[in-house]
Structure 1
């Protein structure tokens, strides 16, 4: 059982590292066609991570792709 717990810890660390890398990349990106990433907030009371991004008044791009208007 120790090994399972140890393996699980490695998987969690790897997932956390992937999220941290993605956040670092998003902070560096700046382009008119990309949604601006402002900040990531780690909730100390839970396992949640909040990401603050630019508000897009017309909604998600998938909405336009699905109905053929994009």
Structure 2
């Protein structure tokens, strides 16, 4: 973050998050990753309701399925 300039503004859906000091990202003393999420401040951009990436299926020369 030193190259990018000052700390970015905190988005409204993350009222408490990481702390930027002296050009560095400091861990929070809160449990977990230390970030709070406020769904009221978030805007829904899209909803993913289907899985569009096919699962790769590999076959051996004899036609049977194999693992990676």
Q: TM-score, normalised by structure 2?
A: 0.26
Larger Rg, first or second structure (1 or 2): 2
More helix by share: 1
Q: TM-score, normalised by structure 1?
A: 0.26
| Structure with greater contact order relative to length (CA < 8 Å, sep ≥ 6) | 2
